[in-house]
Amino acid sequence: MKIYKYGDYVKEDTVVTIGMFDGVHRGHKLLIEETIKVAKIKNATPFVYTFYSYPIKEVKRKFLTLLEEKLFLLTENGIQSAYVVEMCNKFMELSPEEFFKKEIVQQLNTKGIVVGEDFRFGYRRNGDVMYLKKLAKPFGIDVYSIPLFNIGDKTVSSSFVHHLIMNGEIEKANDFLGYMFFLSGDVVKGKGVGRLLGFPTANIEYKNGSKLLPPGGVYITLAETGGKFFQSVTNVGFNPTFEKNDQLKVEIYFIDIKKNLYGANVKLHFLKKIREEKEFDRAQDLIEQIHQDVEEAKIYFRLHNFNKCI
């Protein structure tokens, strides 16, 4: 993918869609599809204008996708060029008129704009789609407004997917995303407790920071590494039966496969939450519970065929 940064000038004609695109969910995919379609008609480059930070008021919210994950998903959906901007104070103080003229007209050489019907832009989000069309008309720039995408009675949005994941509704979140929610990290050595219990695990040193992590519990997962997928059960939590600390861990148990992955990078796809994490009085009780978790996961995989996660 060709990446442009704030202030770069784009020489080729473009058709651009604008937004945070956090999660690159099914609603975003409709915008991308329309952008590619219009760009083909106008013999221009389909372009995504996106951001890698939230406005100040939302700074505490975690991202569904880190920037590199977002760019990967955009590429998977047919976008080869993106303009990436940090939402700093200077940028956020641009009026709708300044944003349109400085960014869309001068920097992006835009021939068409594709946005959702609820699109807002400029200082304090004062600009809407109607005003965007008014600004674009003198420049001969066509503006295409796409209806919001609903599943049932819910509009697909990044904030709602965020809500679903934090409530452990992984399957529903994946339906809204159009793929399996994932996180990435390197496999590191743990304390070997799982091995002593008969369930050796791979500990993931995940990229924390601003990345959303599912709440504590046990999940059915697919671990992707080296282009291969491995059925697994993952515990997100603090391992309260054996440890008394506040270090959150992501521990993967590979079903029916003994594999040494130390040092490997793993993309972990979350499919379903089985249960909450809990503390057991006896190690044997935990072992029996893990057996139940693994059996539930095996049944799930027999009933579902996952040939592709993205």
pLDDT the model gives residue 57: 54
- Confidence tier at 60 by pLDDT (50, 70, 90): low
Mean pLDDT lowest among 40-54, 240-254, 267-281:
240-254
User: What Rg value do the Cα atoms of the chain yield, rounded?
Assistant: 22
Arithmetic mean of pLDDT over the chain: 89
Pull the structure tokens for residue 78. 């047919």
Claim to verify: residue 149 and residue 282 sit in the same structural domain: no
Claim to verify: residue 151 and residue 244 sit in the same structural domain: no
Q: Please check the confidence at residue 35 and state whether its pLDDT lies above 70.
A: yes
Residue 290 lies in a domain: yes
Residue 47 lies in a domain: yes
pLDDT the model gives residue 69: 94
Residue 167 lies in a domain: no
| Residue ending a domain, choose from 119, 140, 155 | 155
- Confidence tier at 24 by pLDDT (50, 70, 90): very high
Claim to verify: residue 197 and residue 280 sit in the same structural domain: yes
Claim to verify: residue 222 and residue 114 sit in the same structural domain: no
**Tens-digit pLDDT profile for residues 217-231:** 999 999 999 888 999
- Give the predicted TM-score (pTM) of the model: 0.91
Who wins on pLDDT, 169 or 198?
A: 169
Claim to verify: residue 97 and residue 232 sit in the same structural domain: no
Residue 310 lies in a domain: no
| Percent of the chain residues topping a pLDDT of 70 | 89
CA quadruple 125, 86, 177, 249: dihedral sign: negative
Domain CATH number, residue 217: 2.40.30.30
Claim to verify: residue 6 and residue 149 sit in the same structural domain: yes
Claim to verify: residue 265 and residue 225 sit in the same structural domain: yes
Claim to verify: residue 244 and residue 277 sit in the same structural domain: yes
- Total number of domains in the chain: 2
Who wins on pLDDT, 186 or 305?
A: 186
State which residues form the domain around 270: 180-303
Claim to verify: residue 188 and residue 289 sit in the same structural domain: yes
Claim to verify: residue 276 and residue 230 sit in the same structural domain: yes
Residue 173 lies in a domain: no
Residue 89 lies in a domain: yes
- Confidence tier at 54 by pLDDT (50, 70, 90): low
| Residue ending a domain, choose from 121, 155, 189 | 155
| Residue ending a domain, choose from 107, 122, 155 | 155
Residue 309 lies in a domain: no
- Confidence tier at 17 by pLDDT (50, 70, 90): very high
Who wins on pLDDT, 243 or 271?
A: 271
Mean pLDDT lowest among 33-37, 183-187, 203-207:
203-207
Residue 165 lies in a domain: no
pLDDT the model gives residue 92: 85
Domain CATH number, residue 142: 3.40.50.620
**Residue reference for tokens 């040939």:** 307
- Confidence tier at 55 by pLDDT (50, 70, 90): low
Claim to verify: residue 43 and residue 131 sit in the same structural domain: yes
Claim to verify: residue 261 and residue 214 sit in the same structural domain: yes
Mean pLDDT lowest among 156-165, 275-284, 291-300:
275-284
Closest C-alpha among 203, 199, 179 to residue 190:
203
Between CA 81 and CA 3 the distance in angstroms is 6
